[in-house]
Amino acid sequence: MKGLAGKTALITGASSGIGQAIAVRLAQEGCNIAINHRKSAEDAEDTEELALQKACGQAAECGVETLIIQGDVSKEEDILQMMSATVDKFGSLDILINNAGIQTERASHEVQTDEFDRVIAVNLRGAYLCAREMIKHLLEQQRSGVIINISSVHEIIPRPMYISYSISKGGMGNLTKTLALEYAKRGIRVNGVAPGATITPINESWTDDPNKQAIVESHIPMGRAGTSEEMAAAVAFLASDEAAYITGQTLFIDGGLTLYADFQETWSA
Ligand code: NAD
């Protein structure tokens, strides 16, 4: 896609699922990639290997470079270290993908304060702090750049039993819009990608059970869950110059999930 080759992208939570697919896709488009992981160095190495395979094929070198960086996005010091390691290695950073995310399931009246704080600290505060450091870097270097927040259909659909997750993704929608407006004149575009139900490790509770998966898919107008690669394709588009005039938007990649699936069949005269 236009304008991606030679750029540098940092992807948080890139050792699995959607983050891994984004790292692989951006490398395939010719980006250098910084692969953040919290605790699974081996999985991050898998991401690196897959990315280089896609980017370079059999060639020993193809100009795409990689960096694996450990860091917990809920810790400010880790974020600062992650950003400086990336800039030290590549000289600059053009694209930030705020992908790291967690969720916990519990009735809202039973959620413990530390559990609530943890989800917000990773999904929302972490995304903001990474964006803040990215924007400082871009302003210092007087560069344009792109930030993409990996949100969720739960940015707009309430999610009972997942109150902290729901709030974090709702907040992420506002994070996207506020930063987009504040920095539009500085050449910084900020957008969101909101996946619907996607086959990744975060959803093991239903992807490992065909019956449960069928129930989930029965609520999706297109009748199937999405893939990480489908999410990564949207990210690559928004990161590229093909999307040069798009900012402050969240693109829902959800097989129609946000179209109110219950209305697919007429249920009133
Ligand atoms: P996943 O569990 O495979 O990926 C989440 C990644 O975040 C993991 O690699 C994990 O190690 C990393 N992570 C967690 N805490 C971290 C921290 N403190 N610091 C750094 N990294 C951390 O699941 P996924 O489905 O690939 O999720 C990726 C993103 O997509 C998340 O933000 C999630 O909310 C969002 N999402 C997923 C779905 C879905 O159906 N899979 C739907 C909507 C939104």
User: Residue 269 — pLDDT band, cuts 50, 70, 90?
Assistant: confident
Which atom of ligand 1 is nearest the CA belonging to 78?
Answer: 19
Q: Answer for the pair 71, 82: CB distance below 8 angstroms, yes or no.
A: yes
Higher pLDDT, 265 or 10: 10
Read off the pLDDT of each residue in 50-55 and give the average, rounded to a whole number: 97
Domains observed in the chain: 8-252 (3.40.50.720)
pLDDT at position 60: 81
Please indicate whether residue 255, judged by its CB atom, sits closer than 6 Å to ligand 1.
Answer: no
Q: How many CB atoms lie within 10 A of CB 51?
A: 25
Please indicate whether residue 200, judged by its CB atom, sits closer than 6 Å to ligand 1.
Answer: yes
Which atom of ligand 1 is nearest the CA belonging to 17?
Answer: 26
Average pLDDT, the chain: 97
pLDDT tens by residue, 177-227: 999 999 999 999 999 999 999 999 989 999 999 999 999 999 999 999 999
Which residues make Cβ contacts (< 8 Å) with residue 57, sequence separation at least 6? none
pTM of the model: 0.98
User: Residue 268 — pLDDT band, cuts 50, 70, 90?
Assistant: confident
